């Protein structure tokens, strides 16, 4: 995205509770020829022909069913084939974490690396996760993680940000981060004073998580940034993606601007080039999930991306932050993730090996285990 933003001046907005209420891209896994070969083999092996209209219909039905199940608390009645059951650890297995470095992956080996120590475990209350999608996605993208967390006896909510998923707001009308994050901040505002949640943000959703942490710090126990924008005070998403040395030409080509107010005015939204979705976001994701995403993703409002956050030590700074790096990510490359971590050190850093930008699709079991791990960590 970097250079694409360069000609637009960022908007500076101070965040307050009063106003809120209403150095190189990692190498490619395979070249395009190998990718085409993989697709061809997959298609011939499965003998499937994907009909676009059928996929669109199924995506809409899936999204509606998802919201129905969330409202009625019976999401686990969905087909169990979407995940491998991962039961919660028994209480006698929860031990104080030692200083260590190890990994976890979907196959049970190497994908998680713990960087810091001075942590213990907590097991008193039921864990409550709130999942915040990234730019262009919706609550639907978390469907595997939702099922896995519920199987682990956790409470879980997935938020549709304004103009995303089933939220019908016109993307081009969104001019502030407060508007974009309103479904999240509304949820936290209505949460009981005795309740606390673990916020999980992906991609641009990381900025919404930081914004919500500042406004509702008393209701957030931890924040997890999954290949996400983890901003410092007086920084915007635009600022982060202006670090050209961490990006490459794919970031330039993947984004397209929309000018609802005319080209004499700043862009109102950005969209992803659908022909580059697999290379950019889903280079380790199955063809079925790519098909779902291709008919479900929406535009991203432009103005919130240029808005600088105002974050305080008393509010945002009081909440433990955790970062999950995605090793084979071309949308937010590893050097850019590491630059954010270096400038805004979280409590702990994890790494998902073999994951693209969308680990909820490509590495759901490993991501789930990391989230459970984070939920058990407490300061000493």
pLDDT digits over 319-354, tens only?
999 999 999 999 999 999 999 999 999 999 999 999
Taking the C-alpha atoms of residue 160 and residue 152, their distance in angstroms, rounded to an integer, is 23
- Going by C-alpha positions, the residue among 224, 200, 208 that lies closest to residue 135 is 208
Residue 149 lies in a domain: yes
For residues 247 and 199, the model is more confident at: 199
* The pLDDT value given to residue 228: 98
Residue 33: count of CB within 10 angstroms of its CB:
8
- Going by C-alpha positions, the residue among 134, 194, 191 that lies closest to residue 360 is 134
For residues 10 and 199, the model is more confident at: 199
Per-residue pLDDT band for 215 (boundaries 50, 70, 90) equals very high
Residue 91 lies in a domain: no
The SS3 of residue 335 is: helix
Per-residue pLDDT band for 205 (boundaries 50, 70, 90) equals very high
Residue 96 lies in a domain: no
What positions carry a catalytic annotation? Answer: 203, 329, 357
Residue 294 lies in a domain: yes
Residue 320 lies in a domain: yes
Residue 33 lies in a domain: no
Taking the C-alpha atoms of residue 321 and residue 181, their distance in angstroms, rounded to an integer, is 19
Average pLDDT over the chain reads: 78
Residue 40 lies in a domain: no
Taking the C-alpha atoms of residue 54 and residue 43, their distance in angstroms, rounded to an integer, is 17
**pLDDT tens digits along 353-372:** 999 999 999 999 999 999 99
Taking the C-alpha atoms of residue 33 and residue 39, their distance in angstroms, rounded to an integer, is 10
CATH number at 367 reads 3.40.50.1820
Q: 273 is in which domain, residue-wise?
A: 1-18+110-334+362-380
Is the pLDDT assigned to residue 216 strictly greater than 60?
yes
Per-residue pLDDT band for 183 (boundaries 50, 70, 90) equals very high
Cβ proximity of 139 and 131 under 8 Å: yes
Q: How many domains does one find in the chain? A: 1
pTM above threshold 0.75: no
| DSSP H stretches of helix in the chain | 2-5, 17-20, 32-46, 52-72, 143-151, 177-180, 182-190, 205-215, 237-240, 249-254, 277-280, 287-296, 334-343, 359-362, 364-375
Per-residue pLDDT band for 106 (boundaries 50, 70, 90) equals very low
Is the pLDDT assigned to residue 16 strictly greater than 90?
no
Residue 113: count of CB within 10 angstroms of its CB:
17
Residue 61 lies in a domain: no
Give the least confident one: 26-30, 167-171, 245-249, 311-315. 26-30
In the numeric block, which tokens belong to residue 82? 């979407």
């Amino acid at each position: 995205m970097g250079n694409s933003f360069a000609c637009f001046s960022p908007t500076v907005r101070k965040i307050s509770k009063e106003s809120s209420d209403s150095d190189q891209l990692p190498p490619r896994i395979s070249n395009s020829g190998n990718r085409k070969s993989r697709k061809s083999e997959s298609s011939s092996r499965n003998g499937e022909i994907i009909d676009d209209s059928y996929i669109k219909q199924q995506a809409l039905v899936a999204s509606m069913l998802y919201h129905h199940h969330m409202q009625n608390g019976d999401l686990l009645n969905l087909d169990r084939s979407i995940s491998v059951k991962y039961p919660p650890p028994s209480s006698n297995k929860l031990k104080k974490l030692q200083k260590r470095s190890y990994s976890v992956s979907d196959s049970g080996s190497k994908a998680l690396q713990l960087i810091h120590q001075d942590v213990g475990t907590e097991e008193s209350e039921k864990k409550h996760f709130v999942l915040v999608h990234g730019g262009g996605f919706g609550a639907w993208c978390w469907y595997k993680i939702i099922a896995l967390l519920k199987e682990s006896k956790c409470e879980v909510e997935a938020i549709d940000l304004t103009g995303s998923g089933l939220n019908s707001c016109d993307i081009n009308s969104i001019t502030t981060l407060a508007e974009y994050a309103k479904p999240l901040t509304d949820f936290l505002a209505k949460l009981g004073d005795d309740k606390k949640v673990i916020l999980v943000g992906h991609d641009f959703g990381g900025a919404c998580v930081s914004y919500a942490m500042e406004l509702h710090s008393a209701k957030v126990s931890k924040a997890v940034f999954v290949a996400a924008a983890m901003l410092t005070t007086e920084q915007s998403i635009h600022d982060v993606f202006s670090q050209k040395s961490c990006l490459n030409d794919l970031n330039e080509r993947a984004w397209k601007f929309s000018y609802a107010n005319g080209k004499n005015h700043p862009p109102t939204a950005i969209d992803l080039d659908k022909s580059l979705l697999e290379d950019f976001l889903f280079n380790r994701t199955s063809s079925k999930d790519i098909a779902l995403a291709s008919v479900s993703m929406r535009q991203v409002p432009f103005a919130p991306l240029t808005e600088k956050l105002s974050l305080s030590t008393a509010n945002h700074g009081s909440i433990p932050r955790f970062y999950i790096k995605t090793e084979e990510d071309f949308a937010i490359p590893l050097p850019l993730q590491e630059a954010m971590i270096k400038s805004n050190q979280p409590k702990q850093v994890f790494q998902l090996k073999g994951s693209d930008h969308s680990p909820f699709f490509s590495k759901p079991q490993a991501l789930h285990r990391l989230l459970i791990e984070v939920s058990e960590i407490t300061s000493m």
